[in-house]
Amino acid sequence: MKLHEFQAKQLLREKGIRTPENRVATTVDEAVAAVRPLIESTGNSVVVVKSQIHAGGRGKGRFKEHPDLGGVNVVTDGLKGGVEAAENKVRELAQQMLGSTLVTVQTGPEGKQVNQLLVEQGIDIERELYLSVVLDRATGRNIVMASTEGGMEIEEVAEETPEKILRQEIDPAVGLLPWQAHTIAYQLGLTGDAYKNARKLLRALATAATELDTDLLEINPLVVTKSGEVMALDAKMSIDSNALYRHKEVATMRDESEEDPAEVEASQHGLAFIKLDGNIGCLVNGAGLAMATMDTIKGVGGEPANFLDVGGGASKETVSAAFRLITKDPNVKGIFVNIFGGIMRCDVIAEGVIAAVQEVGLEVPLVVRLEGTNVELGKKLLDESGLNLVSGDSMIDGARKIVELAR
């Protein structure tokens, strides 16, 4: 589950990690009201207005409605004109940003609507660094990654100057050890108070990643101020959805308006669903078989429209919901049902497909391949249903048939 920047910073502060002081605004008036308290409490007349969407590249992004306006804007009007000048500029920005569509390198050309803003104190920056804790799925351990190249896309740094990326693996039994924090801080070239503060922050960040069950915890940039403070100027956090039962307060932070409506609906039925760009809808049981099905479709010249795993213990109602999800996608020109029945019985799949087609209709070709538990009963139910479908003798046979029919 992805979090907004302001939510990630809230959780980081609770773990003892410094962030700039800020206020969240959902209206123009709230954005303006945030300015005076920030300036008075920090003594800094510079504030920053930041779009809150689930996508990176906001600073370089541009609004469809306002092509000259970026997703992150530094307001310096208060330096000469005082609080009122800063408030007026923030009002102008909020009026343009809220409700507008921000396009970044990560949103695609369709962009995302900005419904929330983060109004934040300006920071006197001396250095910008990169820091993250990422889950290495090969080892099942978190890894701290750091670089002197803060503010840049880490993928670009990894490709162009991989030697500038520092790594330390975290042993889950003991956490990030003091010598590891020392090594990273030293290799980043930090000294004095900045070095001491960075060591504390590194260990706090590693602990936060473990305690919050994060897939990704990224601070880019991590800034060093002229006074030697080290703080998270930006924050990106993604929580392992399978661990949310341990973090009920974090689960309430979910912003469904930032997610694909089909994926939200799928989660309500306990389905693993990810929308893709192809035209072949896939209904499969088991993540491994779903991946293999998508690979097979691509191998015979097609493009899958989704990843959809109904799981091993799905009911007739769940299967019916999965089928409805696929048929709602206007890009789908054919549907491939590929089931290997173990725990999941083929007759249950057949009943779900029949119920869904009877409810929503079927306007595209349907190919069904069934194998495993109660396969003969499942095929019998489909044969007697009167549905206009094609049987696949094997996975590759079914994939070839649906790709051909969808052309």
**Active-site annotation, residues:** 130, 218
Rounded CA-CA distance 364/389 in Å is 10
H or E segment and range at residue 382: helix 375-385
Sign for the CA dihedral angle at 351, 352, 355, 361 comes to negative
Angle at which helices 192-211 and 178-187 cross, to 10°: 130
Q: Tell how far CA 46 is from the center of its chain.
A: 30
Q: Which amino acid is at 294?
A: M
Rounded CA-CA distance 284/339 in Å is 6
H or E segment and range at residue 348: helix 346-360
Proportion of the chain in helix, strand, coil states, percent, rounded to 5? 40, 25, 35
Query: β-strand 272-275 against 230-232: which pairing, if any?
Result: unpaired
What's the burial of 369, exposed, middle or buried (CB within 10 Å: 0-12/13-18/19+)? Answer: buried
Q: With contact defined as beta carbons under 8 Å apart, do 40 and 87 qualify?
A: no
- Furthest CA-CA distance within the chain: 80
CA distances from 135 to 131, 170, 188, 216 (A): 14, 10, 22, 7
Sign for the CA dihedral angle at 35, 58, 65, 25 comes to negative
Rounded CA-CA distance 114/405 in Å is 40
Residues 77-107: b if buried by 16+ CB within 10 A, e if exposed: bbeeeebebbbbbbebbbebbbebbbbbeeb
Rounded CA-CA distance 119/30 in Å is 9
Rounded CA-CA distance 224/196 in Å is 12
Q: Which amino acid is at 136?
A: D
According to DSSP, residue 304 is labeled B
Question: How many other C-beta atoms are found inside a 10 Å radius of the C-beta of residue 66?
Answer: 14
- Residue 158 tokens, joined: 């990894």
